[in-house]
Amino acid sequence: MTAPIRFTGRLLLAAAAIAVGAGGAGYGLARLVAPPPHPEPAAAPQVRKVLYWYDPMAPDSHFDRPGKSPFMDMPLTARYADEAGAGGDSGVRIDASRAQSLGARLATVELADFATGLDLTGVVDFNQRQVAVVQARSAGFVQKAYGRAPGDVIASGAPIADVLIPAWVGAQTEYLAVRRLGDPAMEGAARQRLRLLGMSEALIADVARDGRPHSVVTITAPLGGVVQTLDARPGMSLAMGQTLAQITGLGTVWLNLAIPESQADQARVGRPVVARFAAYPGETFAGRVSAILPTVQADSRTLTVRVELANRGDRLRPGLFATAHLAGENRPALLAPSEAVIRTGRRSLVMLAGESGRYQAVEVRTGREDGGRTEILDGLNAGDRIVASGQFLIDSEASLTGVQVRPLPDAAAATTPAAAVSK
């Protein structure tokens, strides 16, 4: 029984070996007979779409086909659809190191309270509300003049001239006679007559105290200031009501500021003003608008704003030139540094800083300026980052690459290729 079993096992092993060999031979034959696999088709080269050709020295001029520039002896450059700036929205890309070499400095557009003030110029003038006219109360003669002259600065009570008034002698003598009678009613009537003749209370009191007439009267300045006119000379005769002198006070002066008619709505009576004078560096003089004159200067198209200033120590003299800041009302506004605004003459631009070093020229509508800040009425939003320094060089780079300016929303239909500051 053992021998047949061993023989049967050997037959099974031989059959398995023959089966494995036949399988391997079949696989090799199939590899030889089967056709080689087809290679994967290569991707077709992507063709970049050309929008136009342009001359880098004149990027605003676009051409339909390549060639030589009609402006320069150089071939035209292709502008592709996938390039930055080709669509007019992505701007020009400048890496950080190059932006630093251009001196680019960024600032943030912010919403804050804005005092719409004005910086104006003006000239000091006399306060014409402080004018005194010295006249002769009665006919007489000038006996003595005190050496005054037009332009002199005198104090209040300073003598101007001694005047002899004969008509007062008789009235004073009558008053003294009535006074001796001791009748208060009659004395009061005589005293009133002296007042009506033009005598001052001080002169009447001197007559009553001395008991004799005072025919010579010293005329004094009723207020301190500048002698504008003087007509009192020794020996001259005077008629009743004749003007001897005119004096303008210096306690306060007027500062007449010139404001353009386009900004006249900012002037309000009572608004504070801070003035500075070259004669007094480092000092400020505060005042308020007292009047706005109704007429416009035809040659300069300006209105005159009158500011009343206290004249400390009589140092503010008519004719002094001043620069003044007229304060305005505080109101919220979108503010940007004034140095960031590029004014081309036709419009105002700023360079908007985007992501990955991209910069876009943006048209803005500006309002008023004050303290190095400009009000942005349209074109930007709060939080936008803009170029405050070096924007001219970045704008020139945008111009050379043909980047278009983003127009104002209401002018989007009339977008013009922008780039250069010269435009």
User: What share of the chain has pLDDT > 70, as a percent?
Assistant: 74
pLDDT exceeds 60 at position 27? no
CATH architecture, range 92-114+332-414: Beta Barrel (2.40)
- Residue carrying structure tokens 């005077």: 238
- Lookup: tokens for 2: 């053992």
Which of these, 390, 388, 373, 381, lies nearest to 340 by C-alpha position? 388
CA 218 to chain centre: 55
Contact 130, 156 (CB under 8 A): no
The region of weakest confidence among 208-212, 278-282, 285-289, 416-420 is: 416-420
Express each pLDDT in 332-390 by its tens digit: 889 988 888 888 878 888 888 877 777 778 889 998 787 788 889 998 899 898 888 76
For residues 20 and 99, which has the higher predicted lDDT (pLDDT)? 99
> Can you tell me the distance from the alpha carbon of 362 to that of 357, in angstroms, rounded to the nearest whole number?
16
- In sequence order, what are the beta bridge partners of 230? 245
Contact 245, 134 (CB under 8 A): yes
Q: How confident is the model at residue 5, as a pLDDT?
A: 46
Express each pLDDT in 184-200 by its tens digit: 899 899 999 998 888 88
Of the pLDDT bands very low, low, confident and very high (cuts 50, 70, 90), residue 30 is: very low
CATH code at 137-244:
2.40.50.100
- Lookup: tokens for 133: 């006219």
Mean pLDDT value of segment 327-331: 77
Of the pLDDT bands very low, low, confident and very high (cuts 50, 70, 90), residue 289 is: very high
- Lookup: tokens for 287: 């005042």
Query: Taking the domains of the chain in order of start, what are their residue ranges?
Result: 1-83, 92-114+332-414, 137-244, 252-330
> Can you tell me the distance from the alpha carbon of 384 to that of 133, in angstroms, rounded to the nearest whole number?
64
Express each pLDDT in 345-358 by its tens digit: 788 888 888 777 77
- Lookup: tokens for 290: 């007292």
pLDDT exceeds 60 at position 20? no
CATH architecture, range 252-330: Beta Barrel (2.40)
| C-alpha pair distances (Å), 80 with each of 59, 96, 387, 420 | 14, 24, 27, 21
Q: Which residues, 6 or more positions from 57, have their beta carbon under 8 angstroms from its beta carbon?
A: 69, 71, 72, 74, 400
- In sequence order, what are the beta bridge partners of 375? 335
Q: Which amino acid does the sequence have at 98? A: R
- HEC string of 356-420 equals HHEEEEEEEEEEEEECCEEEEEECCCCCCEEEEECHHHHHHHHHHCCCCCECCHHHHHHCCCCCC
Cβ count within 10 A of residue 162: 17
Mean pLDDT of the chain: 79
Q: How confident is the model at residue 423, as a pLDDT?
A: 43
CA 292 to chain centre: 20
Q: How confident is the model at residue 418, as a pLDDT?
A: 42
Burial of 343 (0-12, 13-18, 19+ CB in 10 A): exposed
The reply to whether 137-244 and 252-330 are identical in fold is: no
- In sequence order, what are the beta bridge partners of 115? 330
Label the pairing between strands 358-370 and 92-93: antiparallel
pLDDT exceeds 70 at position 73? yes
Of the pLDDT bands very low, low, confident and very high (cuts 50, 70, 90), residue 75 is: confident
Of the pLDDT bands very low, low, confident and very high (cuts 50, 70, 90), residue 286 is: very high
